[in-house]
Chains A and B, each alone.
Chain A
Amino acid sequence: GQSLEQPSEVTAVEGAIVQINCTYQTSGFYGLSWYQQHDGGAPTFLSYNALDGLEETGRFSSFLSRSDSYGYLLLQELQMKDSASYFCAVRDDTDKLIFGTGTRLQVFP
């Protein structure tokens, strides 16, 4: 079956750095994406990796290793507003997005 595994919860303090890991097993692979979802809200797109390596977008970076079927989202200089759930997603060979189970990030002052 298809699966994307993420830690269920991560906690950190303001100003810290946190890494959210994602390992995937899918039929086909056409890129790894990350989405942020605040409680009660809709997911919003954060980043995308098609090739191995690190992509940086402001305080957020995302990494991919296709040989390891692994990626991570790195959040730096954490702020209270970063408290949310974060989902990794892979596009498979049927052009669908498969979402991970989500990681709930709690940032404390």
Chain B
Amino acid sequence: DGGITQSPKYLFRKEGQNVTLSCEQNLNHDAMYWYRQDPGQGLRLIYYSQIVNDFQKGDIAEGYSVSREKKESFPLTVTSAQKNPTAFYLCASTPIGTSGRNEQFFGPGTRLTVL
């Protein structure tokens, strides 16, 4: 089955620790995105990548880092510099060229809680 997987579903971290959230897709999509969602809020873009080995900052990139070494994978690291990291993190992908429908495919999300 094609889709996007994110792991883990729930993640707990102590203050001052870095943590990496996994995102893998087997849809052969070129572009991948990371969003942050806070309770009762919309989606805010953290980072995005339209091609392997290239990525751009979104609106709230401070305290986060990403890599795109493979087309299928776009891990997000939440660093200790992120002041308020507790949130729901969503990964999405879309094929370049057919993005005219603005259709992004989302993974199930990772709920990060900082203790």
Contact = CB atoms under 8 A, between A and B. Distances in A.
Interface in A52-103: 87, 89-91, 95-97, 99-102
A42 B107 contact: yes
Interface of B, helix, strand, loop or mixed by DSSP: mixed
A42 B100 contact: no
Interface string B95-112: 000011111111111000
Given A96-B58, A102-B42, A31 B103 contact: no
A102 B43 CA distance: 9
Contact of B90 (A33, A43, A89, A90): A43
Contacts of B67: none
Contacts of A102: 40-42
Contacts of A101: 41-42
Q: Give me the 8 closest cross-chain CB pairs, A-B, nearest first.
A: A42-B106, A33-B102, A99-B43, A45-B103, A99-B42, A48-B101, A101-B42, A91-B102
A41 B43 CA distance: 13
B50 interface: yes
In which size bucket is the chain B interface?
20 to 34
A95 B106 CA distance: 17
21 contacts: A31-B100, A33-B102, A41-B108, A41-B109, A42-B106, A42-B107, A42-B108, A42-B109, A43-B43, A43-B106, A44-B106, A45-B102, A50-B100, A89-B102, A91-B102, A97-B102, A99-B42, A101-B41, A102-B40, A102-B41, A104-B40
Most buried by A among B50, B104, B107, B108: B104
Interface in B72-104: 90, 99-104
B102 A48 contact: yes
A21 to B, nearest CB: 15
A32 B100 CA distance: 10
B34 interface: no
Contacts of B90: 42-43
